[in-house]
Amino acid sequence: MIHPPSIKKGDTIGIVAPAGRIDSNIVKQACVRIEHLGFKTKVGKSVHQHHFNFSSTDANRKDDLQEMMDDENIKAIVCTRGGYGAIRIVDQLDFTGIIKSPKWLVGFSDITVLHAALQKHDLASIHGPMTKSFSNYTDSSADVDILFAFLEGQSPEYVINPYPTNRLGKTTGTLVGGNLSLIHALRGTKYDFDPNGKILFIEDLSEYLYHLDRTMYNLKLGGVLEKLSGLVVGQFTDMHDNETPFGQGIEEIIYNAVAEYNYPVAFNFPAGHIETNYPLILGEKVELNVMNDEVSLVSF
């Protein structure tokens, strides 16, 4: 797996909107914060455009991202937000330039599609906060601070509190995943992942409990869950139930889907659609150690 080089003060970070539309003021605020940290920014043309639910047309969004991927002066790419749309352009992208001159791509939610594509080209990427997640640059946000520490070369190492539904154990594997609905949407495509030797990270937003159960059973019936080396469960935010209750909560649904397997499972990891969204390097080998008193996730 190719680990893109670290960035340094004065480097240029590209800002792109490969999916949903975003308020221009949020992007401007994020650029101020990035520049306050000592970097330059280059904002893609489609970022300030609107095309129905999307930031711009498929062609414009693709061209913007392609330009940032190919531009050797751009040392990292940060997506503005998720929403929906990356799956409509991913197959039109040419990854030759970013393979020749690797750079970090940062985002989550709908950007899971781009992470999956990069991993197919042996490129690591960062599941982490986007410009929509950035607060005013004068504030201190742990996830943004950690993100830029990653970008500048610091190896990620997390220690979090235990959780009642955790399954104890220690394992190593390549960290993959992201938004569970997008993982499900990519099943059966060339961007689907091989579960052997993988530690899967999952999170989601505003889904129904029965949909979560159905998605987990898709992974179970497809032989994915049994082949994993470990599972890291992030935040499932603003989930819904039907008028007639489903009868199981988030943790119970996920726990039951993997109950017959023996690998470690860590719940309540602080990543996903939450205020403090801890970044994770996807495509990198990690060690997951789920203990009674703490959980550690360390990159090699």
| Mean pLDDT across 51-60 | 97
Indicate the pLDDT class of residue 300, thresholds 50, 70 and 90. confident
Indicate the pLDDT class of residue 136, thresholds 50, 70 and 90. low
pLDDT of residue 69: 98
Q: Which CATH superfamily is domain 157-299 in?
A: LD-carboxypeptidase A C-terminal domain-like (3.50.30.60)
Indicate the pLDDT class of residue 139, thresholds 50, 70 and 90. low
**Which letter, b or e, does each residue of 137-158 get, where b requires 16 or more Cβ atoms within 10 Å of its Cβ?**
beeebebbebbbebbeeeebeb
The crossing angle, in degrees rounded to 10, of helices 250-257 and 209-221 is 10
pLDDT of residue 140: 62
**Beta-sheet strands, E only, within 211-264:** 230-237
Expressed in angstroms, the distance from the first to the final Cα of the chain is 12
Indicate the pLDDT class of residue 57, thresholds 50, 70 and 90. very high
pLDDT in tens, 181-235: 999 999 999 999 999 999 999 999 999 999 999 999 999 999 999 999 999 999 9
Indicate the pLDDT class of residue 134, thresholds 50, 70 and 90. confident
77: left (phi over 0), alpha (psi -120 to 50) or beta: beta
Q: Which helix H or strand E contains 213, and what residues bound it? A: helix 209-221
| Mean pLDDT across 104-125 | 98
pLDDT above 90 (res 82)? yes
**Where are the domains positioned within the chain?**
12-151, 157-299
pLDDT of residue 63: 98
How far apart are alpha carbons 118 and 115 in whole angstroms?
A: 5
Indicate the pLDDT class of residue 297, thresholds 50, 70 and 90. very high
pLDDT of residue 133: 80
Indicate the pLDDT class of residue 156, thresholds 50, 70 and 90. confident
CB-based contact 279:166 (threshold 8 Å): no
Which tokens sit at 160?
A: 């979090």
pLDDT in tens, 92-110: 999 999 999 999 999 999 9
pLDDT above 60 (res 278)? yes
**Beta-sheet strands, E only, within the chain:** 12-16, 40-43, 74-79, 104-107, 125-127, 157-160, 169-179, 198-205, 230-237, 265-266, 280-282, 285-290, 295-299
Question: Domain 12-151 has what CATH class?
Answer: alpha beta
